[in-house]
Every structure is written in structure tokens, then in C-alpha cells.
Chain A
């Protein structure tokens, strides 16, 4: 399932794209999974078919799905994230939840900060 929020500042196209990308990378949508037709997804989410087309096209450009007139839209193989990485993510979430009412945004912020820090550290090590 994917959900879009009408009051979200994130455009519907991006909500659809990011949720599908996350589900593919987490392995919840496996390689070969046939995604719903543009008309079905647009109807269920009450959005314009063009919005779904845009999301699917972006996912196809990223190599996550393949669109075909005969075979429909399918998830491409080989995009599931490594098991170690997923385990680490699960451990991080468990740790984050111990800190009371932490939101997804807060948790992602912590990851982003750690990511940026690791890049800076790596650059410093290279320059040395």
C-alpha cells in the first residue's frame, strides 16, 4: 500500500515516487512485481493519471522499474538494499524509538547529519 496526504507540502508525484522507491529498495516490492496500472493507481489515490505517469517515469529513469505496453509496469531486479544495511536501519529505528516521541523527520535528520559528517571526515582524510 502507498498513501498520499492531500495537505502535505510534498507534491503528490513525489509522494508516490518516494514511497514506491522506498518499498523497492527495502525489498517489500520484489523484482518482477507487477505494479498497478496508471489508471488504477490514479483512481485509488484520487490523483490525475498524469501524476502517476510522472512518478513511474521518474522511477524508470532511476532504473527501479520498467514500463512496457505488453508486460505492464514491473519492478526491476537488483535494487534491494543489502541485508546488513537494512538490519542497521532497523537497529537505528529501535534506538531512535527509545528516545520517546522522536519523529521520522527527526530520525532522518540524524541520519543526514551523520552522512554529511562522514563525507567531511572522508574528505579530510583524503586531503591529509
Chain B
């Protein structure tokens, strides 16, 4: 029942973000040239397939976790990071479209492209913040964890001179270490996907520099959005489990009230992070669907940073 309610809340977040998006972006169709359209459509297809694959992997992780109780929920814990990494690696592995038309002229920018030059600064900063937050939460829960009856660091114990209480499952080292490894895999996958966007050959034909930069910037936003959503979901899961288990363990007198406050804060952090994760993934998905339709409305700042073409001699 709780799972159904959570799915319903998640769906509400998706609908709310979708409505907000549609309200904020009432824009007409844009005509795109054949060469640009091919690249735009391929970029959109790649991103949609990557997100779909990631969602399938996430679902598979939860199913495996239910099917194999002996793994003590480890599959579900690392499912978001593995799913996100899988989706991003699939994105990177999908080859870009081949332009089969013959061209008389080919142009190239003289600005070096790399993962850091195309990725949105704000998105990267947000991703860095949630990564540090996740690491902090994992180190804290690992350091405060205790062994359960199997000797695994997945419990929390509160002991006073007269009472002692233990509760599981707590995201101690048993979950934290694989989670850190899976998160490292996710970061590497995001970097590989951004590198793929940066190293893809530019659009052929003249006057397409802005469109070329635009598809890269939009695609990088989607990639960073997927990574951000994944890390946020991990924070949400870890914080909710930590807060709930902490609360369950402190049922005897003598335990400092600070633990109760901390448990509440972790629960709030978990819920907020989960909502942010769903919203971020919804935004990334919406961006993929509108990729070809945003060309004429792109803000100048998204397309700057290239050496401008000179007026003489067909050079730039």
C-alpha cells in the first residue's frame, strides 16, 4: 500500500513538472534544415533510449532485490546508480548519425571541445553539491552503523547504562561502500557520455555553428540532468532508510533528543531529494522531446564562445 502511495506521489510530481514546463514554454514549431534535423533527431532518440534503458535497469534492480532476499536489499540500494550509469553508457555507445550527402565545403570551429566546455556550469555545480552531500551522508551513516546479528554493518544501536536497542536495515558500511563504488561508476559514465557529445563531428554545411553548439549544450543538459536525478534518488533512499531506522531504534529513555531531530531531518532530506530526483528526470525527458523544436528560441548565452567568422575569404 505504501509502495502504491509512493508511486502515486511520484506520478503527481511528474504531472506537476510537466504542466509547469508546458505553461512556461508555449512556443511554435521551428523549421530545421535537413543536416541539422538528422543530428537533432538522433540526439533525441539516443537520449530517450538512454532514459528508457535506465528506467528498465532501475526496475530490474528492485525486482532482483525482492526476488533475492538473501542480498538484503543491496540490489535495490545500488540500482539507481547502476541504472543511471547503464543509460549513460548506452548513450555514449550509440554511434552518431552518418551524413550521407556530398558536400563541397566543410567548416570547423577552432575552439577546443571537451566535456567541461559543453556541460552546463549550473548543472555541474548542482551535481557536485549532491555528490558531496551523498558522500557526507554515506560516511555519516557508515560511521554511526553497527553490526547486525550476521556481523554486517547494516544496523544502528543506541545503548545507555540500562537499555540497548538495535534496528536494521541502516545504510552502514555494508550498503555505503557498494553505493560509493556505484556512484563512482555513474560519474565515469556521465563523463564518457559528455565526451561523446563533445567529440562528435560538427554539422556539415555553413551557418550551422549555432545549431551545432545548441544540440551539444542541450544534450549535455540532459546527461547532467540524468546524473543529477540518479544521485538525488540515492540520497533520497539512503536518507529515508537512515531516518526511519534511526527512529525505530530509539524506543527507550536516555537516548539524546538530538538523534530524534536528526532522524526527522534525514526523513525530510530523503523526501525532498526523491521529489527533486523525479522532477529532474522528468525535466531531462521533456528536454529530449523538445530538442528539435527549441532552435530559434535558444538564448544567446547558450551559443556563445566560438571564434566568429571573418567577412573575407570564406574563412572563420
Q: Which residues of A are interface residues toward B (Cβ below 8 A)? A: 1-7, 19-20, 22-23, 26, 28-29, 33-37, 39-41, 43-47, 72, 93, 104
Closest 8 CB pairs of A and B: A1-B316, A44-B108, A43-B201, A44-B202, A3-B107, A45-B106, A36-B112, A45-B108
Q: In this complex, what residue of A is CB-closest to B306?
A: A1
| CA gap between A52 and B186 in the complex, in Å | 34
Check: B65 CB closer than 8 A to any chain A CB: no
In B105-146, the 8 Å CB interface with A consists of: 105-113
**Residue interface mask B300-316, A partner, CB < 8 A = 1:** 00000011111011111
Q: Is the CB of A93 within 8 A of B108?
A: no
Question: In the complex, which of the residues A1, A22, A43, A93 contacts B209, with contact meaning CB atoms closer than 8 Å?
Answer: A1
Question: Can you sample 25 A-B contacts with CB below 8 Å?
Answer: A1-B107, A1-B209, A2-B316, A3-B107, A3-B315, A3-B316, A6-B104, A6-B105, A6-B106, A22-B313, A22-B315, A26-B310, A34-B112, A35-B110, A35-B112, A36-B112, A36-B113, A37-B112, A40-B112, A40-B199, A41-B108, A44-B106, A44-B109, A44-B202, A46-B103
Q: Tell me which residues across on chain B come within 8 A of A40, comparing CB atoms.
A: 108, 112-113, 199
Q: Is the CB of B112 within 8 A of A1?
A: no
Q: Tell me which residues across on chain A come within 8 A of B313, comparing CB atoms.
A: 22, 104
Q: In this complex, what residue of A is CB-closest to B310?
A: A28
Q: In this complex, what residue of B is CB-closest to A46?
A: B106
| CA gap between A37 and B110 in the complex, in Å | 9
Q: Tell me which residues across on chain A come within 8 A of B310, comparing CB atoms.
A: 26, 28
Q: In this complex, what residue of B is CB-closest to A4?
A: B106
Q: Tell me which residues across on chain A come within 8 A of B200, comparing CB atoms.
A: 43
Q: Is the CB of A5 within 8 A of B104?
A: yes
Secondary structure call for the B interface: loop
- A25 to chain B minimum Cβ distance, whole angstroms, is 12
Q: Tell me which residues across on chain A come within 8 A of B308, comparing CB atoms.
A: 1
- A75 to chain B minimum Cβ distance, whole angstroms, is 10
Q: Is the CB of A28 within 8 A of B307?
A: yes
Q: Tell me which residues across on chain A come within 8 A of B199, comparing CB atoms.
A: 39-40, 43
Q: Tell me which residues across on chain A come within 8 A of B168, comparing CB atoms.
A: none
Check: B206 CB closer than 8 A to any chain A CB: yes
- A22 to chain B minimum Cβ distance, whole angstroms, is 7
Q: Tell me which residues across on chain A come within 8 A of B209, comparing CB atoms.
A: 1
Q: Is the CB of A1 within 8 A of B106?
A: no
Q: Is the CB of B106 within 8 A of A29?
A: no
Check: B274 CB closer than 8 A to any chain A CB: no
| CA gap between A23 and B200 in the complex, in Å | 25
Q: Is the CB of A6 within 8 A of B103?
A: yes
Q: In this complex, what residue of B is CB-closest to A35?
A: B110
| CA gap between A26 and B312 in the complex, in Å | 12
Q: Tell me which residues across on chain B come within 8 A of A35, comparing CB atoms.
A: 110, 112
| CA gap between A72 and B107 in the complex, in Å | 21
Q: Is the CB of B105 within 8 A of A4?
A: yes
| CA gap between A6 and B104 in the complex, in Å | 5
- B85 to chain A minimum Cβ distance, whole angstroms, is 25
18 more A-B residue pairs beyond the given contacts A41-B108, A44-B201, A104-B313, with a C-beta to C-beta distance below 8 A: A1-B306, A1-B308, A1-B316, A2-B108, A3-B107, A4-B106, A5-B104, A5-B105, A7-B104, A23-B307, A36-B112, A36-B113, A37-B112, A40-B113, A43-B201, A44-B109, A45-B107, A104-B312
Check: B204 CB closer than 8 A to any chain A CB: yes
Q: Tell me which residues across on chain A come within 8 A of B103, comparing CB atoms.
A: 6, 46
Q: Tell me which residues across on chain B come within 8 A of A22, comparing CB atoms.
A: 313, 315
Q: In this complex, what residue of A is CB-closest to B316?
A: A1
Q: Tell me which residues across on chain A come within 8 A of B307, comparing CB atoms.
A: 1, 23, 28-29
Q: In this complex, what residue of A is CB-closest to B314?
A: A3
| CA gap between A35 and B110 in the complex, in Å | 6
Q: Is the CB of A36 within 8 A of B312?
A: no
| CA gap between A7 and B103 in the complex, in Å | 10
In B31-88, the 8 Å CB interface with A consists of: none
Q: Is the CB of A44 within 8 A of B104?
A: no
Q: Tell me which residues across on chain B come within 8 A of A7, comparing CB atoms.
A: 104
